[in-house]
Structure 1
Amino acid sequence: MYVIAHLSDPHLGPIPEARLSELLGKRFFGMMNWIGARRRNFGASTLGPLMDDLAAQDPDHICVTGDLVNVSLPEEFDTGATFLSSLGAPEKVSVVPGNHDAYVRSAMHYHLERWAPFLAGDDTHPHTPVDVDSFPFVRRRGDVAVVGVSTAVPTAVFLASGEAGRGQLGRLAALLTELQEEGLFRVVMIHHPPVGERPFHRDLRDAAAVRAVLARAGAELVIHGHDHRASLGRIPAPGGAIPVVGVPSASAGPEDDRGPGGYCLYRVSGAHGAWRCEMERRGYAPGSSTVQSLGCEVLSG
């Protein structure tokens, strides 16, 4: 059995001090959002015990589906790197960026540089810089292949949408087909959910194209963040519907109206053609200050 942990959207705080020139435009509104709401609803008092519980479960691999930072100030990415390192070695921890990790165009390179060990694929040469064309990456871990897709693109003020892009989707289709031929259990990490309805300013612009690639090439599991809610959807596919799982923000307090902090464990067993995947949700029940199991569900097999 191979155990994968999945968390998302920690929005690590506090936001560091910044020069006035750094807070012009979109960052200003993001800072106001942090001051007005996020710093009260998201915090270490929630995240710390949750990560202690995750460590106690001793998963084989940890997947983080984006939004480690808030307004993409340079120092925030150092905080993100420290957080990723606290979870484990880069070989055991994978991350994909979210929209907050690409908040403004001038910050696009920060996650690529400072989180490179955690988002570099197995075939990436240690001295080769990671860039936007490095996605999707793949990490083979036993019978499991973790595939990281980036939907992080800079957007205008008040937009939190994302896009995979035609080039990345072409590479994803070929990669998923190759991994299927290798007989691996394919886990696709993506920040913006490819299923469900949400306002246009928070949507995955090419969600239909992403679903088409997944349905055609296949995958055993898709995991995402962005909505700050626990969710389970499906993508119809010839080989059987693909489960699509979302998790709450890992830093959300017990009273958060979209759901208190939590994460998922996926227990993968079986073999090619006969996989079994069981999901356990762990976190805070509404109003509770104790991290606990919130229930299990068989996703496939």
Structure 2
Amino acid sequence: MISPAFAAILASGRAQFNARAVEARRSFPALDMQAFGAFLQDGVDPVVQAVAIAAPERAGSFTLAAYDMALELVGHGLAGPAAKMPFLGAVWRELVPRFAPLLAASPVDALGMLSNAAIHLRGVAGARTAQWRDEMAAIAPQVLTLAQLRAVGQVLAWRAGVAHFRLGAIAAADTLPPALALAAFGEQQGDWPSLRAQLLTRPWRGNADGIEFGAFAGLGGEFATPPQVRATADGFIVSAGERFYLLVADAHGAVLHGASDDEYAQASATVPASLRLDGATLHLGARTVALDLPAGDIALAANAHTLAVTSPYTHAIRLLPLP
């Protein structure tokens, strides 16, 4: 059952809400009103309750905006019990209420920003959605404006594995108060200019071990055949089967984008002299890494900050930070 606060608002504007539902059925003929009712209870009600506590005078106008957005989300199949994206419902239920003051002041913008972020993040393979939701919830009391909400959301999306957000996230953090910028990066001490300089020059800051990315497509992975890799300034161009990809990786994760055979042909196949392979033992300056791969066919590719290791015996790419 829905809360008394939400029920009272719906009852007081019954004709208006019913008219909105009828109009939505024209825009979305397949709109499941039973699913919509379930989302009102599961997703919208917790947010309405939070706004009614934070700004009771705005609860009615907020509910109208939330109701309209819920109709659209359910109409697109993005919300409700059978939604193709359950994460969005969890964000409304568990995260969105934490931003009640912002929702009360700018309901459409704040709801839209959080919903779009959840939809985008869920569409990025490998993104750690639960981490983003939990870290956003933890920092919510410090976020006072829509601009701060947008910037913090981008920073935390990068830290949750959306590697191609790195430079944009650092630029977004520049717009935040220094204390909030530090908090968004999980730093309790220090100063933002120093942290910013480290983040720009050390993509693997905080991760000395690197990551492994990729698996066989037949088992739900990314690559139909063992990948071959060449380096670019921003990442690596990957050839696997008849397809080509841009792989962007850093301390927080890796993301795959489409690329072309021309980009692969133009990418670098050279490796710095400071990197040496002795059988299955890799020498990275003073560091030695024993690879769990058969010796003989191991291939290396490197840019300024990352080494990629591939082999015809695996569909995975080992990504290691360079000194």
Same fold (TM over 0.5): no
Which structure is higher in helix share?
2
Bigger radius of gyration: 2
Q: TM-score, normalised by structure 2?
A: 0.24
Which structure is higher in strand share?
1
Higher relative contact order (CA 8 A, sep 6+): 1
Q: TM-score, normalised by structure 1?
A: 0.25
